[in-house]
Every structure is written in structure tokens, then in C-alpha cells.
Amino acid sequence: MHNDNEHDDEDEDDDDFGMEVFYTGSYADIESIEEDEGESDFIEEEQVISKSQKKRDHHALLKLAEHALTLTDDKLRQTGLDEPILKAFFEAKKMRASGARNRQLKYITKLLTHADSTELEGFLDKADQSRESEKQHFHQLEHLRNKLLEQGDQAMQEVIDLYPHADRQQLRNLIRQAQKETAQNKAPAAARKIFKYLRTLSES
């Protein structure tokens, strides 16, 4: 005998497993969701870049503050910095403990984030160029002094060409004295005097 209930159960099973699910929304809705997800990723990426840039900017200002701290008080006053920042620098220069000095530098860096540091950067660049120029000039004078000590009168003409107002006799006396000190293994007092005299000539 055929059982109708069994047939009904089989139909129900077929309906459950054979059912197809269709998305009733529009493709525009799908595109909107994808756009929102893409925009969210972009915003997160921008935030990461922004944080990294802020960190780099902060580090650059800290280096700038450390560099400016090597200037004398008079030079610092020529940088165009506001009085509160100058005062913070002067306080930092008085500190001997490294911990306190580092904390003061961080405080100065914080002050610089709210100030225009362009003028300070320009001043430090010029100071560096001037320092490098002085170093080169020092080496040139040192080289000229050594030539005088090694070659004597043979190198004298080079000095006269550079500094026509140089006193030949004074230089000769200093050269002889320096050579004697070297032979007697004495302190190079005359050699230092020659360098000092050359420097005076270059600045006059």
C-alpha cells in the first residue's frame, strides 16, 4: 500500500536541498559596498603615512634643536627665534646632566613645532658653511707654514705673492728659530708664531 505521507516527506526533502538562493538587491548596492571598503583602506593608509611623516618631522626638529644648541648665546640671538624659545635654549646650555638636557631638548622641539623654523635652518646652514670655510683656510695656512719650515727662503716668495705687506725679515728670523727648536727637540714655539703671523696677514 502506498503511503502518501512518505511521498510528502520526499518532496519536502527535495525542496530543501534543491533550493537556489538569489540576491534580490541591485548591482549598484554591491559596488557601493566595495567602494566603501576601498575608501576605508585608503583612509587607513593615509593615517599611517601621516603618522610616519609627523615622526620624521619631529625627529628633524630635534636634530635642528641639537644643532642650534652648539651655537653661542650671541649667535642664538641672531637666529630670529622668539624669546621663550631662546630662553629654553639658554636654560639647556646651563644643564650638565644628560637626562635633564635631553628633556629640555624635547621641550624645545615641542616649542619649535609651533614656530617657523625656516630662519633658524637658514642661519645654521650659513654657520656651517662659514665653519667649513674657516677650516679650509686653517689648513691652507698650516700647509703654507709647513712649506716655510721645510723650504725656507724658497717658499718665501709664495707668502709675499699672497701677502705683499708681509715682513720678510721677521719671517726669516722665525723660520730659523723654528728649525733650531726642531733640531734641539724643543717645543715648537716659533712654528706656532709663524702660523699666528700668517693668520694675522690673511685677516689684515
Instruction: Return the residue matching grid coordinates 611623516.
Output: 53
Question: Considering the domain boundaries, does residue 1 fall inside one?
Answer: no
> How many Cα neighbours within 13 Å face the side chain of 106?
6
Same domain, 147 and 99: no
Between 17 and 56, the more confident residue is: 56
Same domain, 102 and 54: yes
Instruction: Report pLDDT for 119.
Output: 86
Question: Considering the domain boundaries, does residue 171 fall inside one?
Answer: yes
Q: Is the pLDDT of residue 22 over 90?
A: no
Asked if residues 117 and 62 have their Cβ atoms less than 8 Å apart, the reply is: no
Question: Considering the domain boundaries, does residue 144 fall inside one?
Answer: yes
Q: Dig out the grid coordinates for 131 from the structure.
A: 665653519
3-state secondary structure of 156: helix
Predicted confidence (pLDDT) per residue in 65-96, tens digit: 999 999 999 999 988 889 999 999 999 999 98
- Residue ending a domain, choose from 79, 95, 121: 121
Question: Considering the domain boundaries, does residue 29 fall inside one?
Answer: no
144 band by pLDDT with thresholds 50, 70 and 90: very high
Could you tell me the residue range of the domain that residue 183 belongs to? 134-203
For the entire predicted model, the pTM comes to 0.53
Q: What is the CATH number of the domain that holds 76?
A: 1.10.60.30
Domain tally, the chain: 2
